[in-house]
Structure 1
Amino acid sequence: MLKNFAHIDTESVDEAAGLLREGAGSSRIIAGGTDLLSVLKHKLEPDYPEQLVNIKTVEGLDHITADEEGLKIGAAAKLCDIAGSAQVNDGYEALAMAAKSVATPLIRNLATIGGNLCQDVRCWYYRYPDEIGGRIRCLRKGGDYCNAMTGENRNHSIFGAKKVNLSGCSQNCPAHVDVPEYLTCIREGNLDGAAAILMESNPIPAITSRVCTHFCQMNCKRAEFDEHVNIGGMERYVGDYILDNADRFMKAPEAESGKKAAIVGSGPAGLTAAYYLRRLGHQVLVYDKMEEAGGLLRYAIPEYRLPKDIVRKLIAALEAMGIQFKTGTEIGKDIPVSDLVEQFDSVFLNTGAWKRPLIGLDGEELTTFGLDFLIEVNKWMESKIGKDIIVVGGGNVAVDVAITAKRLGAANVIMACLEDEKHMPASEEEVARAREEGIVIMNSWGPKEILRQDGQITGLVLKRCTQVFDGEGHFSPAYDDGDTETLEGNSILMAVGQKTDLSFLGEELELKVNRGLISVEPDTLKTSLPKVFAVGDVTTGPKTVVAAIADGKKAAVYVDSYMTGQPAKNYEHPLGQIVKFDASSSCHSQSAKLAERPKEERGLHLEDSYGLSWEEVQEEAKRCFNCGCLAVNPSDVATVLTAMEAEIVTNKRREKIGDMMKKAHCRLVEEDEIVTEIVVPASIREYRTGYDKYRVRDSHDFAVVSVASAYKLEDGKVADARIVLGAVAPIPLRATAAEEFINGKEITEELAGQAAEIALRGAVPLSKNEYKVQIARSLVKNSLLNAAAAR
């Protein structure tokens, strides 16, 4: 049964477009309605439309005319009228054949050519939810995975998938790195291409690959099949390649903008913003209070995770681009912030979170802040060799602190954290590494009392933590004070987070501040003062490195817009293109693992893990499903019109159907866009056109495989060819390699067979649809032989 909806008759295309625009997301257009009513009946769409905008009542949309320009068909022309039209059958026969091939006479008598072009895809998971236990949130419905990759796929694409949404890995990455796209380049052996794609979202992959939590891997859909793709390992290879060839990938801009930007703080957000602003031609000067640039990357992450040379190579590459670093300079002390505001066209605040938070324990002043420990580690440990050390905290910093203390000679190291093991902020890999090195982790315990004698720490009393967050997800720990444990220890290292320090602002710069954080406009990252932007920890509190990178790029976009007066650039991933995977992807069940340095050889100044080889990287890239929609385009007329190089006219544009199909991601047109006319050029009359399709039964409208062709013959040879494969890809697919092969040649059975082989050479069949390859070859071969026989 259908739900109730409003049905509005319209008198003009403009009126219909206006109604669609006003009811964005809740309105759909209807003409013939044969496909739409089925969609509504089966409740295929995530949101059921509240109104249908009827254009059958618009006069003049059902015309079929021919003139010097060519054949012109109104979008509301019925397929039965097209199939029987003398004008269509006089030189445009393939279109009549395609129209006639659509379903039963009942459907053809109602269906329109515009509806056939704009119909929804044919997919078991998309169209028949009741038969598979309920509607699936597939890619076309806002999900992040195409179930056909590992499920029922006999009617799906053999030429890759349509990118209709961000893949799960890209969605989960704060920087939205286009992971599948750069892994495609790796599979093709195009390392430079992979590097370029990666740097569009993340200019410091050599660093993130080593320190990132790798949210991308957490949402890798391959993991639901066997193991997640080792994206971090491949990112490390590409990142190191970028730094080794920084003169090619991190070039100075060809032209200078004349604008100057000051960046306060050289953490990941600041370095990212500096890179993108410099790439846009702006002068960039980065200030940092420490002696070396890099912020927490340089000073707070142990070298066994992130070698200092990696950070130094990155800074050197940025300097080679023309970015200036002024280190050992504390803004607010050595230079007032107000001076920067006067001297620069924009000021970007990114001072990070270096301040110690206090949790209110008596004797807390005797403990050591985890970040201070990591910065001054060697000096601090001089008197602690052989001692028992307690680390409070459960994040990656706490693990870094614990492992570092252990490797520097602490006798015993115990970590105590509020969270149970499943919910520890530290990554699984880091927790496993800590346990491997003999560190004891006490989950679900919080500090109650610091034990001390004669001003010296002797231990820590813990109390059982029964809750970390409340029902609304807010940090609100609860304890059982009657359940305690006492630990003996000579030192306590507090690694329970960091705070921002805004004292550098002074009183001259009256920035709006809220709860110790700089207030910014969420969309633009502007502060309450003109020229001044802020990003990262000073606006949100401590964040991950990759989240800081995402903020840094976003800030660079709006800083550039502010300085130039131009609209903010759009860096969103384009959707609509065809993405490919490797045919052997399902054969590689285990991911490539980074080799680890033997435990006995580990220290503070040698990296714990080794990178993958190029061969391992390429093999691992093959495991990526390159998550896209594998449903095929079901339109018979679209396949023929692509071969005829027809143009589609809408209320917004006029464009060749092939170009329109390539750009479209979920639907052919936008929500308020209406197809009004199809124009087939008169030049196609010089070609021999044909259309054939394989289907399960003659009355069934869905082509399992189809081929539309247009051959221009001169002196018995092919002067021009257009071969379009239908129902084998997300869009009608031109077999360009086969077209080029036959041009200038006489059609023979041997040539037709060779062309058919070439046309299917790039096929990537799934587990159950390899049969389509052979059918498509036969249809291509027959199209050529039929054209030759028609001489």
Structure 2
Amino acid sequence: MKFLRCREIPPPTGKKVAIIGAGPAGLGAAGVLKCHGHDVIVFDMLPEAGGMMFFGIPDDRIQKDRIREAVRELMNAGVKFMFNTKVGRDISLEDIIETFDAVLIATGTWKTRRLDVDGEDLPWILPAAEWIVEVHMARYGHIPWSDVIKPHGTILIVGAGLTAADVATVLLTYPEFKERVEKVILSYRRTRELAPMRLSEFERLEKMGVEVLELTQPIKFYEKDNMRIARLIKMKLVKTPEDKRPKPVPIEGSDFELRVDYVFKAIGEIPTPPFEDKQHNIELNPDNTIKVDEHFRTTRPNVFAAGDVKHGPSLIGPALKSGLDAAIKIHQYLTGILK
């Protein structure tokens, strides 16, 4: 993995660029902009760079030493990092916009979608992506293990994307958890052929002992007689002309109870820009992505957006490419080519 896109850094242009977010989009953009001679400062809320790519993916799925090496290369080239700095909380976004010649927002998708069912806010219902991040924060020595919830017993995972696979992998392979977990169940409202997760990933999870409940969906969580209960309902798929794929519809009277100890929500994440809609004269789309034009420029002329906060949840490759493409547009803006 490589973020710096040149062997030698050209003379300084005198232009300053702030990048908010040190995930693949932000790091890729930092490398391109530094290679054009611009002064680059990256702000990130975490204690080291990499974003969800580093903290949100199990260790056996990506070579994290290579990410650290690529970040060190950026640092050695002169890219500055301000870690443990959450824009909007620790530093004002408006101050950054007014201080820098251009700003790139690449804050990703850090909030798990809600199920919108009764009991969802019980303390044993956990957001999967945020929990995985906490696990790795502890693993790498940034927070104490006492800050991390350690699930045990029977675990229900709701969803069938990469985050669902990742939380199952962490629970069943990390030594901090695998002796505590008795059973992992995955609930998905469609069939595996229609899931974001590949069929090979389902097979891998099942070999690890995961029980997959296709065509099921939680409708309520509650406690009864000192037991934690997930009530699920069976689903059927209905095809309509306006739908790209069959729609899951509940089967009346098919609901059933599962006794669980913890539940993980893994039904996707939503974009997390460091501001509310129309703050700082920057608009959001209905799905909470940042509204941009074909040049990655927001509704405020010197502010750009890239990565998942621009186009929604994606894989590392598309996020990185988005950052690279946005950096080229920022360079064109700084040099007067892009008006």
Measured against the shorter chain, the TM-score band is 0.7 to 0.9
Aligned to 2:142: none
Which amino acid in the other structure matches residue 384 of structure 1?
P
| Secondary structure, counterpart of 1:273 in structure 2 | helix
Once residues 191 and 34 of structure 2 are traced to their aligned partners in structure 1, the CA distance between those partners, rounded to angstroms, is 44
Task: Report the alpha carbon displacement of residue 303 of structure 1 after superposing the two structures with TM.
Answer: 1.0
Look up the match of 1:447: 218
TM-score, structure 2 normalization: 0.86
Aligned with residue 327 of structure 2, among 533, 556, 560: 556
- Measured in 2, the distance between the counterparts of 1:406 and 1:460 equals 24
Which TM-score applies when normalising by structure 1? 0.38
**Counterpart in 1 of 2:121?**
365
Please say if residues 190 and 237 of structure 2, whose CA atoms lie closer than 8 Å, have aligned partners that are also in contact: no
**Match of 1:314?**
70
Q: Secondary structure at the match of 1:519?
A: coil
What is the CA distance between 1:464 and its match in structure 2? 1.6
Partner SS state of residue 309, structure 1: helix
Shift of 1:434: 1.1
- Look up the SS of the partner of 2:251 in the other structure: strand
Matched, 1:518 2:264: no
Aligned to 2:139: none
Tell me the distance in 1 between the aligned counterparts of 2:112 and 2:256: 26
CA contact (8 A) 2:238 2:246 kept: no
Q: 2:159 aligns with which of 381, 390, 393?
A: 393
Which residue is equivalent to 1:263? 19
**Structure 1 residue corresponding to 2:314, chosen from 543, 556, 565:** 543
Matched residue SS, 1:548: helix
| Cα shift at 1:251 | 3.2
Distance 1:490 1:353, change over 3 A: same
Deviations 1:654-707 (Å, cap 9, x if unpaired)?
xxxxxxxxxxxxxxxxxxxxxxxxxxxxxxxxxxxxxxxxxxxxxxxxxxxxxx
Superposed CA deviations along residues 158-204 of structure 1, whole A, max 9, x for unmatched, are xxxxxxxxxxxxxxxxxxxxxxxxxxxxxxxxxxxxxxxxxxxx846
Aligned CA RMSD, in angstroms, stands at: 2.6
Matched, 1:425 2:196: yes
Quote how far apart the aligned CAs of 1:538 are: 2.0
Contact 1:451 1:461 in 2 (8 A): no
* Residues 468/543 of structure 1: CA separation in 2 closer, same or farther (3 Å cut): farther
Is 1:406–2:172 an aligned residue pair? Answer: yes
* Distance in 2 separating the partners of 1:308 and 1:460: 39
Q: CA deviation at 1:298?
A: 1.7
The answer on whether the counterparts of 2:110 and 2:271 sit within 8 Å (CA) in structure 1 is: yes
Output one character per residue of 1:111-151: Cα deviation in whole Å (capped at 9) or x when no partner: xxxxxxxxxxxxxxxxxxxxxxxxxxxxxxxxxxxxxxxxx
Deviations 1:507-533 (A, max 9, x none): 751212221232111x11111111000
Instruction: Report if aligned partners of 2:277, 2:284 keep a CA contact under 8 Å in 1.
Output: no
Superposed displacement of residue 559, structure 1: 0.6
Distance in 2, matches of 1:274 and 1:514, equals: 25
Distance 1:342 1:459 in 2: 50
Correspondences of 1:33-48 after superposition (within 5 Å): none
Distance 1:340 1:505, change over 3 A: farther
Please name the residue that 2:141 is paired with.
none
Q: Which runs of 5+ in 2 are unaligned?
A: 136-144
DSSP-derived class of the 1:376 partner: helix
Query: Whole-Å Cα distance in 2 between the matches of residues 371 and 499 of structure 1?
Result: 11
Classify 1:354/1:544 alpha carbon distance in 2 versus 1 (closer, same or farther; 3 Å): same
Provide the identity percentage: 29
Q: Measure the CA separation in 1 of the matches of 2:219 and 2:188.
A: 12
The answer to whether the 8 A contact 1:390-1:493 is kept is yes
Counterparts of 1:476 and 1:317 in 2: how far apart (Å)?
A: 47
Aligned residue in 2 for 1:384: 151
* In 1, Cα distance between equivalents of 2:182 and 2:300: 52
Whose helix fraction is larger, Structure 1's or Structure 2's? 1
Cα distance in structure 2, aligned partners of 1:469 and 1:485: 27
Size of the alignment, in residue pairs? Answer: 322
Deviation of 1:539 (Å): 2.4
Does the Cα contact within 8 Å between 2:277 and 2:283 map onto a contact in 1? no
Equivalent position SS for 2:61: coil
CA distance in 1, matches of 2:116, 2:149: 28
The residue aligned with 1:648 is: none
Contact 2:10 2:36 survives alignment (8 Å)? no
- Which residue of 1 is the match for residue 305 of structure 2? 534
Distance 1:470 1:484, change over 3 A: farther
